[in-house]
Structure 1
Amino acid sequence: MKKLKKFGLVLLVIISVIVVAGVIFMTHMKPDYSGEKQLSNLSETVDVYYDSYGIPHIYGQTEEDAFRALGYVHAQDRLWQMELLRRIGRGGLSEVFGKDVLGTDKFFLSLGIDEASNQTVVELDLNTESVKLSQAYLDGINQFIEDGPTPIEFYLTGIDKSPFTLVDIHNTLGYMSFSFAQAHKTDPFLTNLKNALGAEYLTDLEIDIDPSSTLIQNHNPKAIDTVRNTVITSVTKTLESLHIPLFEGSNSWVIGPEKTKSGKVIFANDPHIGFAQPSVWYEAHVNTPNYEKYGYHLAGVPFPLLAHDRKLAYGMTMFENDDVDFYFEETNLNDSTQYKNGDGWAAYEFVNKSIKVKDAEAVDFTFKKTKRGPVLNGIANQVSGDRPISMWWTYTDVKNEVISSLHEMSSATDMAAVEKALPKIHAPGLNIMYGDAKGNVAWWATAKLYEIPDSIHTKFVQESPEAFPAERRYLPFAENPQAKNPPWNYVYSANNQPDSINGKLYPGYYLPENRAKRIVQLLEPKNDWDRTTVGEMITDVTSAVDPGVLRDLAKVLDVKNLTKEDFQILDRLNSWKGDHPLESVEATIFHRWEYEVIQAIFMDELKVEQFEEFLSTHMSKRVIAPLVNKPNSVWWDDVKTKDKKETQAEIVQAAFQDALVSLRKDFGPNVNDWTWDKVHSIEHGHPIGQVAALRSFFNVGPFPIHGSREVINNLGFRYNSEGYYKVGSGPSTRRVIDFSDIENSMSILPTGQSGNPFSKHYKDQAQMFLNGEFRKMMLNKDEIIDKADSKLSFTPQ
């Protein structure tokens, strides 16, 4: 008995030691939000006041001091995120996650992001203000790497910390430019479809511009062969599985003084990005005697992409323009090292790369380049076919001045200064939204747009190298779509097609008019907007298009073939307003029915893999509303039934029945149980959260969530046969900035400010985000100091 007691005592001591050691480890791993630290190269003390949500308010005497402190505090909350984002463009994921992501590394290396970043840095003038501030920010990151605790993800993956450089900043921005990626999904798919089915099948796919849809209005009086392509599918799946955010879309609107209750501008913006943990933006308020911005920063990028101060606010949405083109190349049959170039032959450039792989030897690989760009065939066997396909991309074709532009924007004090910085943004294409305290509102589409011959369709792989020369004639920025203080007194963007300017409608991969139509529908009649009503609008869950689609489907049903119960369901649907609250039954039925219709329309012509590719494109969202109004479209016939030709009515009727059968199977016969909260959910995933035992520690969620795809509160998902919709992307922040009461402007993040799972700010905003709530963005120093949760001071070393 004594031995048993002694053993129990020893065991208790061991457990106590483990617990104490665990507590000490966890305490050591937390970010330091208070106290004093020495920082190299500071000229004077920098004070950082943290508010109750972990947002740093940084006060320094010089910009270099403030940005050095920003780098440090950003790194202690987001170093792991910085590490992942800088690795993508340089092909460095395999070193962390092993051989399964080799194909993704090969693809990104072949794109030339890392090569372009290195060339950009070589050409930088190190004495410019943007470079000096960037270097100060990097110094802060690197001092945290040297002095601060190592984030737990580095221990779990077994990688070492290493200093950040200017090349890393540009690689992160290069990945951002790529992440839109709609051309990679769409162009090879359409080329294959045309070759397999013929041009007749392309007519109703909404691949061209529809001038009858809701367009963003310009106001600028001064202006002038078969190929199997799974490369982007594979890459996208890899990035999604690692929960690395992809840029998707966004909403923004800026309301002029004539339409607000206060007579002052109100600015709203919610960029739509793939959900991940941590969320993409890091908020920081930086203040010096000559500079102030409350900004939203990408991990590892010094200057904010979204920001405001007392004078002005700016934000962004994706422009969705076409900045990628693919070419079929012709290899010389007598010399496989040459390709057709005009009337003659040119030598392929062979590029050799080496990729470090976790727990394995480094992998060497070689790819070919033409003057148009890298040849994608053979890169991890993701593009197959007899003919080589090369890729031309604006991002690597044009001098990179994005960092300079972001610095100029963040330093701007008026509309003219912001506009002056925008021509330097060449890719990705962005809609920059603007409002200020003087009453100005503006929207500019930023991108290096180029002249496209009338004979060229950019959404197909180019058949002839001479059909669309790689040497583009870029248009002056003044010809870009834009609107400054338009007579309708507001500007907006919802990734929809801009109207023509100088007679041009620019091609792109624009999203359907759904959100745009709803935004205009709400903005146009109302002239007494305030912060509260704009906050309600930014969380709106009603579709302006879905009820019309439902009515168009319902009117072709033969009600004589419906049971009494089915007729009651249809009657219930007919009164649906298109809203998507958690308790909605109608939303659940509509989306299940719409998917069954889409599957019936397209699955017979497309293989399963092609159908999945189709669902991943914006085109799949654009096509359904117009197609239901085209009863004679070739797509309605089921080509698998050779002896008959199906009608639209037959397809829609069968889809309705299939939807109801599947809903009864999943949720039972009581229609009131078919609520939206059972099928629509969100989980903010962390790469380490893929390990089942660690999921609950690193991931945030899952939660049922209201909203839907292509409503203003755009919580997007991809249709699937199961009928359960896991939200993949949505508002990465929601901001409402009211220039009549700038002190009470408001924001929210999807989870929390910190990416450190031991921080109390890892997920402290998650429930607020779900509820559509906001928190204050403080600018007043006295209030910030008075309400500060903690203070961290950096002193010269």
Structure 2
Amino acid sequence: MKSMLKKSLLLLLALLLLAALLLTLHLRGKRPQREGELALSGLRAEVSVRYDEFGVPHISAAHEDDLYRALGYVHAQDRLFQMEMLRRLARGELAEVLGPKLLETDRLFRTLGIRAHADAYVAREFAQIDTPAKRSLMAYLDGINQYQATRPAPLEFEVLGLPKRPFTPADTVSVAGYLAYSFAAAFRTEPVLTQIRDQLGAAYLPIFDLAWRPDGVLRQGLRPGDWQDLGRLARLSQNALEAAGQPVFEGSNAWAIAGRRTLSGKPLLAGDPHIQFSTPAVWYEAHLRSPGFELYGHFQALNPAALLGHNEKFAWSLTMFQNDDIDLVAEKLNPADPNQVWYRGAWVAMQSREETIVVKGAEPLKLRLRRSPHGPIINDALAGAVGATPIAMWWALLETENPVLQAFYELNRADTLDKARQAAAQIHAPGLNVVWAGAGGDIGWWAAARLPQRPAGVNPNFILDGASGEADKPGFLPFSANPQEENPARGYIVSANHQPAGAQPVPGYYNLWDRAERLDSLLRDSSIRWAPANTRALQLDVQTGYHQRILRPVLPLLRAAAQSEPDQALVEELAAWDGKFSLAPRAPVLFQQFLYELAHAALADELGEQAFDNLRRTRVLDPALPRLLADPDSPWWDKRGTPAVETRAQIVQQAWAATLAHLRKTLGADSKTWSWGAAHTLTHPHPLGQQQPLDKIFNVGPWPVPGTRELPNNLDARLGPAPWAVVTGPSTRRIIDFGQPGQSLGINPVGQSGVWGDAHYADQSKLHAQGQYRSQHLLEADVAAHTRSRLLLRPQP
């Protein structure tokens, strides 16, 4: 009996070992092939791909088409699942593979019209493949499709049952539309500001630095059902992006410094775009080389043109312009015909189209999507909408030519100031700041967007009245009227999502100015000579003056609110704090929790929890809070539903008590254990990691990290209660000094590969969290010295 049991256990162990071996071999077969030889159809000559110690491919080709075909192949090796999910998100096709839980997201993106716009754009612009930019896209997509057709499917494809299907130019254009949408703040901002204006009144607007005009209130008025729908749309616009597990673009830093201000005597460029963290990371690095062309680029899924890049002659980075390129428009319906709206003095019929969403495990959903003269009717994104007023969306992406593929193809080759300016002029949407530097000494910045003309007096921060003409656009401003600078006398340019200076302010949803002011205060110090070392310190800086603007008016009130000696000691710790969000201090924990409690106590009772939640996801709340705290007579201090009129002092006292109660409950009763690093952590989530226990397998982190929202080191956890999970931050940090352009520095937040189990899946995540950098090999000698493997792509016989 014992012998039989022993044999059974040995057999079971053998079977388990065999299963583990087979699984290992199965997963190994899915890893990227980085050495040896492969045949690729369509190549005119051999292409060499050398991989360095971090898995960055250095691609050398004799022909440009071969270069992009090889880029598509190696990009797909590392990121095919990312490509698949991004195109499905952009085109409203997630429910087909993920089921009904993604139906709302698909509905939203179908309603936005990104899919229909992309299909029409490609049918119009790709009727003839007559430009190098178009040929580069076709070759790149062919490389992706060849990889997909000949190699094993990624693990995620098997887990989710994803079918393979070819990638097309319409997928690329759709993803570009998604990226533009992820920039847009109008969905979250305009409804709540309009609600404050129309329901609360003029006295509640000053904290947002907005004027109230009686003729600005929507003439037909929005009913409770309309406000309910707008609140749902605001939540949906944010939740749809989060549910899909794909990066959202949030903000960025970039600066260019002229040679007279640098240690090397040559221009220096630094940039760190702020994007939602994810696994895999948003950027894919690749070094491209063909006759007459070389670029070390940062690429996004399904795009053959680098959005960030450099070589020995020039470099550029991007930040978000933050211009308001979406207007929400309340339409007036014809009482006799619900398919007509009032437009320019007449009843005009809305257009409509039908689309079908395939849903895994359920019946397909047929949608009837409407469009007024102002744009798509976004109410159609909601199942069970209760409002009666159609809300249209005017969006520059849908209303401009937007030759963005051509723009970035040219920017990848823009070795002069003139060429860079000409490339930037072709970016119509989304709005981007292009910050450029050249080895010859020039630096430049262009706010790139097609800016609409609006009727005088129209404030697009609010929902516009479609019947009055205020939503109409007479035309667009010329690019020469956009904010821009070339070789300014001060010797540097800084872009940090702040409102740019200019004779005519550009409407937009700009970030808090403190981050830009902190960068500018150091860059304008003429005694500093800039080099990679102190530029790195500036990118990692964790201080602004925002805490002073918050605490200065309320410190006397906090001192009065402290009820015990330990509490008084905590207040004095805040008073003495220098505003640095480093890992060790306790003061940042107190400040961040107090900021949330104060905002909630002052604003949520007037707005309601839903609208307050929408407001705290916008950019307008950060600058509003210092204005609120500086005004003891603001009506926001009074709590609705109580007979007394509460004061600022009472709300501060309430917020401080709630702060300490929450921190003791969540971080421990002993306040000596509270530290910013313990409460503020970064995890890079994978789409499959949203489900337990897959989060333990696919997600990367958590890492304790310094910084916070709207600091130079902008590791941003949204305003809310502790602990704080970082959502967005530096998606790469780059430093290019043209004194030694071949020795540039950079970092990837996670790793080059999106293939689980691969050596480069997460090999940079700890370095990124610790503020470290690595070399971006550009010079031939460095590439050769750091080559770890070589893949040769041969023409298929």
Per-residue deviation, 1:560: 7.9
Q: Name 1:258's counterpart in structure 2.
A: 260
- Paired letter, 1:22: L
Q: Name 1:740's counterpart in structure 2.
A: 739
- Paired letter, 2:350: Y
Is 2:573 the counterpart of 1:589?
A: no
Per-residue deviation, 1:368: 1.4
Say if 1:558 and 1:653, in contact at 8 Å, map to a contact too. no
Select the residue among 151, 154, 161 that pairs with 2:157.
154
- Paired letter, 1:43: R
- Paired letter, 1:126: I
Question: CA deviation digits over 1:324-369, x for unaligned, max 9?
Answer: 1111112211122222222221112121000111122221111211
Q: Name 2:442's counterpart in structure 1.
A: 440
Question: CA deviation digits over 1:432-454, x for unaligned, max 9?
Answer: 11111111111110001122223
Question: CA deviation digits over 1:447-482, x for unaligned, max 9?
Answer: 011222232111111124333253441000000001
Question: CA deviation digits over 1:555-576, x for unaligned, max 9?
Answer: 3445386422222222221221
> Which secondary structure state, in structure 2, belongs to the residue aligned with residue 155 of structure 1?
helix
Per-residue deviation, 1:381: 3.2
Q: Name 2:757's counterpart in structure 1.
A: 758
Q: More deviation in 337-346 or 513-522? A: 337-346
Say if 1:231 and 1:382, in contact at 8 Å, map to a contact too. no
Alpha-carbon distance change, 719 to 334 in structure 1, aligned in 2, over 3 angstroms: same
> Which secondary structure state, in structure 2, belongs to the residue aligned with residue 248 of structure 1?
strand
Alpha-carbon distance change, 689 to 127 in structure 1, aligned in 2, over 3 angstroms: same
Q: Name 1:191's counterpart in structure 2.
A: 194
Per-residue deviation, 1:541: 1.1
Q: Name 1:88's counterpart in structure 2.
A: 89
Q: Name 2:219's counterpart in structure 1.
A: none
Is 2:691 the counterpart of 1:691?
A: yes
Is 2:177 the counterpart of 1:179?
A: no
Q: Name 1:395's counterpart in structure 2.
A: 397
> Which secondary structure state, in structure 2, belongs to the residue aligned with residue 577 of structure 1?
coil
CA distance in 1: counterparts of 2:40 and 2:391, whole angstroms: 51
> Which secondary structure state, in structure 1, belongs to the residue aligned with residue 598 of structure 2?
helix
Alpha-carbon distance change, 208 to 171 in structure 1, aligned in 2, over 3 angstroms: farther
Select the residue among 286, 289, 292 that pairs with 1:287.
289
Per-residue deviation, 1:382: 7.3
Is 2:46 the counterpart of 1:56?
A: no
Say if 2:666 and 2:722, in contact at 8 Å, map to a contact too. no
Q: Name 1:715's counterpart in structure 2.
A: 715
Say if 2:425 and 2:479, in contact at 8 Å, map to a contact too. yes
Say if 1:339 and 1:348, in contact at 8 Å, map to a contact too. yes
Question: CA deviation digits over 1:565-603, x for unaligned, max 9?
Answer: 222222221221111111110100111111111111101
- Paired letter, 1:400: N
Q: Name 1:490's counterpart in structure 2.
A: 492
Say if 1:549 and 1:625, in contact at 8 Å, map to a contact too. yes
Q: More deviation in 342-351 or 302-311? A: 342-351
Q: How does 1:607-686 map to 2 (within 5 A)?
A: 607-642=608-643, 644-686=644-686
Say if 2:542 and 2:711, in contact at 8 Å, map to a contact too. yes
CA distance in 2: counterparts of 1:567 and 1:421, whole angstroms: 58
TM-score, structure 2 as length reference: 0.95
Per-residue deviation, 1:389: 0.9
Say if 1:375 and 1:391, in contact at 8 Å, map to a contact too. yes
> Which secondary structure state, in structure 2, belongs to the residue aligned with residue 434 of structure 1?
strand
CA distance in 1: counterparts of 2:432 and 2:561, whole angstroms: 51
Q: Name 1:411's counterpart in structure 2.
A: 413
Alpha-carbon distance change, 165 to 665 in structure 1, aligned in 2, over 3 angstroms: closer
Identity, in percent, stands at 37
Per-residue deviation, 1:3: 2.4
Alpha-carbon distance change, 795 to 300 in structure 1, aligned in 2, over 3 angstroms: same
CA distance in 1: counterparts of 2:108 and 2:572, whole angstroms: 51
Say if 2:111 and 2:380, in contact at 8 Å, map to a contact too. no
Say if 1:103 and 1:235, in contact at 8 Å, map to a contact too. no
- Paired letter, 1:272: H
Say if 1:208 and 1:507, in contact at 8 Å, map to a contact too. no
Q: Name 1:215's counterpart in structure 2.
A: none
CA distance in 2: counterparts of 1:661 and 1:90, whole angstroms: 45
Is 2:602 the counterpart of 1:601?
A: yes
Question: CA deviation digits over 1:715-764, x for unaligned, max 9?
Answer: 111222x4211111111000011111112210001110111112100000
Per-residue deviation, 1:668: 4.2
Say if 1:57 and 1:286, in contact at 8 Å, map to a contact too. yes
Q: Name 2:215's counterpart in structure 1.
A: none
CA distance in 2: counterparts of 1:595 and 1:2, whole angstroms: 67
Q: More deviation in 132-141 or 458-467? A: 458-467
Alpha-carbon distance change, 468 to 562 in structure 1, aligned in 2, over 3 angstroms: same
CA distance in 2: counterparts of 1:767 and 1:335, whole angstroms: 61
Q: How does 1:765-780 map to 2 (within 5 A)?
A: 765-780=764-779
> Which secondary structure state, in structure 1, belongs to the residue aligned with residue 567 of structure 2?
helix
Alpha-carbon distance change, 615 to 285 in structure 1, aligned in 2, over 3 angstroms: same
- Paired letter, 2:91: R
Per-residue deviation, 1:608: 0.8
Q: How does 1:114-263 map to 2 (within 5 A)?
A: 114-124=115-125, 125-207=128-210, 225-226=222-223, 227-228=227-228, 229=230, 230-263=232-265
Is 2:314 the counterpart of 1:316?
A: no
Q: Name 1:222's counterpart in structure 2.
A: none
Question: CA deviation digits over 1:116-150, x for unaligned, max 9?
Answer: 11122122241111011111101100100111121
Root-mean-square deviation over aligned CA pairs: 1.6
> Which secondary structure state, in structure 2, belongs to the residue aligned with residue 417 of structure 1?
helix
- Paired letter, 1:634: P
> Which secondary structure state, in structure 2, belongs to the residue aligned with residue 377 of structure 1?
helix
Say if 2:96 and 2:358, in contact at 8 Å, map to a contact too. yes
Alpha-carbon distance change, 400 to 672 in structure 1, aligned in 2, over 3 angstroms: same
- Paired letter, 2:259: P
Say if 1:47 and 1:791, in contact at 8 Å, map to a contact too. yes
> Which secondary structure state, in structure 2, belongs to the residue aligned with residue 654 of structure 1?
helix
Question: CA deviation digits over 1:646-676, x for unaligned, max 9?
Answer: 2222222332232223323334454321111
Q: Name 1:783's counterpart in structure 2.
A: 782
> Which secondary structure state, in structure 1, belongs to the residue aligned with residue 631 of structure 2?
coil
CA distance in 1: counterparts of 2:255 and 2:210, whole angstroms: 26
Question: CA deviation digits over 1:529-561, x for unaligned, max 9?
Answer: 110110111011112221332222213445386
Q: More deviation in 120-129 or 727-736? A: 120-129
- Paired letter, 2:359: V
> Which secondary structure state, in structure 1, belongs to the residue aligned with residue 170 of structure 2?
helix
- Paired letter, 2:765: A
CA distance in 2: counterparts of 1:418 and 1:147, whole angstroms: 39
Question: CA deviation digits over 1:261-287, x for unaligned, max 9?
Answer: 111111110000111110100000000
Per-residue deviation, 1:20: 1.7
Q: Name 1:325's counterpart in structure 2.
A: 327
Per-residue deviation, 1:421: 1.1
- Paired letter, 2:673: D
TM-score, structure 1 as length reference: 0.95
CA distance in 2: counterparts of 1:190 and 1:376, whole angstroms: 18
Uncovered stretches (5+) of structure 2, i.e. residues with no partner: 213-221
CA distance in 1: counterparts of 2:7 and 2:764, whole angstroms: 48
Q: Name 2:218's counterpart in structure 1.
A: none
> Which secondary structure state, in structure 1, belongs to the residue aligned with residue 115 of structure 2?
helix
Q: More deviation in 475-484 or 590-599? A: 590-599
Per-residue deviation, 1:384: 4.0
Per-residue deviation, 1:207: 4.5
Say if 2:252 and 2:274, in contact at 8 Å, map to a contact too. yes
- Paired letter, 1:336: P
- Paired letter, 1:139: D
Say if 1:255 and 1:489, in contact at 8 Å, map to a contact too. yes
CA distance in 2: counterparts of 1:761 and 1:120, whole angstroms: 36
Q: Name 1:537's counterpart in structure 2.
A: 538
> Which secondary structure state, in structure 1, belongs to the residue aligned with residue 551 of structure 2?
helix
Q: More deviation in 58-67 or 454-463? A: 454-463
Aligned length, in residue pairs: 778
CA distance in 2: counterparts of 1:184 and 1:4, whole angstroms: 66
CA distance in 2: counterparts of 1:469 and 1:205, whole angstroms: 22
- Paired letter, 1:178: Y
Q: How does 1:269-280 map to 2 (within 5 A)?
A: 269-280=271-282
CA distance in 1: counterparts of 2:191 and 2:668, whole angstroms: 42
Alpha-carbon distance change, 133 to 208 in structure 1, aligned in 2, over 3 angstroms: farther
Alpha-carbon distance change, 342 to 422 in structure 1, aligned in 2, over 3 angstroms: same
